[in-house]
């Protein structure tokens, strides 16, 4: 049995850590983009500052993505489900999928999970299915063994 409140807490904690890391990296590159205007600026310093600014912008995007993911997880209803829908934890083979927010693989309660969004192609194949049903995805037949 999956404790979905623990699953939600784990997803929130991992995403908060992702957000903190993105912010820390953003700040580091942003500080590298600042030039001391009281001294002459060499060409290589200018180029390095511009590169740091570009990298900071990329990490700013990651920070915004993590922030949006955090908000989506917080709003997701993790209540019990009997069909594949947002907030469901679905067991297929030896893997668990959490429907609603895309994440990397993570471990919770000794099981491996991966989050998928409703935009994921596999979700279209699974949507509305119940425990025991099968669906075809990329030429493979997938059997849903459990839904929480």
Judgement on whether residues 31 and 68 belong to the same structural domain of the protein: yes
Whole-number percent of the chain with pLDDT over 70: 78
pTM exceeding 0.85: no
Judgement on whether residues 71 and 95 belong to the same structural domain of the protein: no
What is the mean predicted confidence (pLDDT) over 65-88?
95
Total count of domains within the chain:
2
Judgement on whether residues 43 and 70 belong to the same structural domain of the protein: yes
pLDDT at 73: 96
Q: Is the pLDDT of residue 140 over 60?
A: yes
DSSP the chain: ---HHHHHHHHHHHHHHHHHHHHHHHHHHHHHH---TTS---HHHHHHHHHHHHHHHHHHHHHHHHHHHHHHHHHS-----SBS-TT-EEEETTEEEEESS---EEEETTEEEEEE-TTSHHHHHHTT-BTT-EEEETTEEEEEEEE-
Range of the domain at 62: 4-75
């Amino acid at each position: 049995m999956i404790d979905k409140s623990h699953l939600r807490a784990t997803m929130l904690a991992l995403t908060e850590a992702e957000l903190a890391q993105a912010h820390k990296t953003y700040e580091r590159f942003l500080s590298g983009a600042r030039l001391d205007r009281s001294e002459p600026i060499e060409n290589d310093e200018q180029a390095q500052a511009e590169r740091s600014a570009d990298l900071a912008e990329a990490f700013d995007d990651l920070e915004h993505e993590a922030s949006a993911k955090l908000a989506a997880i917080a709003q997701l209803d993790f209540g019990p489900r009997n069909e594949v829908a947002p907030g469901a934890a679905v067991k297929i083979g030896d893997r668990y999928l959490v429907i609603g927010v895309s994440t990397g693989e993570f471990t919770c309660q000794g099981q491996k999970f991966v989050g998928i969004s409703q935009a994921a192609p596999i979700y279209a194949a699974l949507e509305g299915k119940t425990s025991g049903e099968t669906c075809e995805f990329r030429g493979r037949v997938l059997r849903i063994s459990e839904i929480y």
